[in-house]
Amino acid sequence: MVGGMVTAHHNLVGSARVSTVIQDAQLQRDALTAAGFWNSAFRQGSTGQSWGKQVARTRLIDEWTGRPLGAGRAFLRLLAHLFDSAACYLGWLFPIWDRPKRQTFADKIMHTIVVPASEPPQPPWRGWPPPPRRTYRQWNR
């Protein structure tokens, strides 16, 4: 009888530990997802730079206005990256041969471009149609 009680107690404590470990893992997963979403949508949308773009000294801007996208459009760009993956990941490789702007499919859909961070922000364009687009060489001056 005593042996059965000790075993039952050990099983309860062991299952409680496993349950705690699972909850901790789920909490970590949720925290990493939230941090990634914040980095990709809010930070990149407001400043033009995610953590990775900051390290690479590049920034994401609207190709017509020269300003950061805002959180909403940055989130939509994140969703548009599904098109980059849908075509056998060809969209991720598209910047290799896309001249002069080197855009992915998502960048083409959202009218965005990644430029060196040293490039000063451009004032917003007034009127329509938008002005001629700058070439890749003009971005690198």
Instruction: Give pLDDT tens digits for 48-101.
Output: 999 999 999 999 999 888 899 999 999 999 999 999 999 899 999 999 998 888
pLDDT in tens, 28-52: 999 999 999 999 999 999 999 999 9
Is the full-model pTM beyond 0.75?
no
Query: Is pLDDT above 60 for 126?
Result: no
The whole-number pLDDT of residue 128 equals 47
104 close to 134: Cβ distance less than 8 angstroms? no
Phi-psi region of 137 (alpha: psi -120 to 50; beta: other; left: phi over 0): alpha
Predicted confidence band at 141 (pLDDT cuts at 50, 70, 90)? low
Q: What are phi and psi of 90, to 5 degrees?
A: -65, -35
CA 86 to CA 48: how far, in whole Å?
Answer: 25
Contacts of 130 (CB under 8 A, 6+ apart): 64
Instruction: Using the Cα atoms of residue 64, residue 70, residue 73 and residue 79 in order, give the sign of their dihedral.
Output: positive
Residue 12 has pLDDT above 90, yes or no: no
Q: pLDDT exceeding 70 applies to what percent of the chain?
A: 71
